Amino acid sequence: RLRLIDPAEKQNYLRHLCGLPLPFLPEKTTAEEMELLISRYKNGLACRQSWVPALVETYDTYLEGRGWLDFDDMILRCVRLLQEKPDLLAVWRERFQWILVDEFQDVSVTQYELLRLLASPSDNLFIVGDDDQSIYGFRGASPHTREPI
């Protein structure tokens, strides 16, 4: 049974990595920078740092060894599961015939993909958002990167 990693535990582990002589990790990389880059990478966003895949692999190995996953993994696994199991997707589409999303400006690319899966083919999706209030751009949320369903 998987559990969600506690944010404090996540920060402790990333701080621990900062103190290790990892060949891929540049000096003076902060735990906060690693957390941001891991999330961006998992959400399919561009990362200029060539060492990020090695960081994500190290981090994911840590999570898997403890039976944990993080918030990004929850969304990614859900998207993958629904893509791979059309029967399961049909069950959830039937259950949620209408979908309302508030604060849409803060939806990540992966979260949007999940919404698209659930809302199709009827496209009964109502969104409310204000791009002047977006606070999750660091994680890839942008009202400008998505097309209408």
Whether the upstream peptide bond of residue 121 has omega within 30° of 0, thus cis, is yes
Q: Which two tokens stand for residue 54?
A: 């090695």
DSSP 52-108: HHHHHHHHHHHHHHHTEE-HHHHHHHHHHHHHH-HHHHHHHHHH-SSEEESSGGG--
pLDDT single digits (tens) 64-94: 999 999 999 999 999 999 999 999 999 999 9
DSSP string, 1-51: --EEPPHHHHHHHHHHHHTS--TTSPTT--HHHHHHHHHHHHTT-----TT
Per-residue pLDDT of the chain (149 residues; tens, 9 = 90+): 889 999 999 999 999 999 898 999 998 999 999 999 999 899 888 788 999 999 999 999 999 999 999 999 999 999 999 999 999 999 999 998 899 999 888 888 888 999 999 999 998 899 888 777 665 555 555 555 544 33
Query: How far is Cα 124 from Cα 99, in angstroms, rounded to an integer?
Result: 6
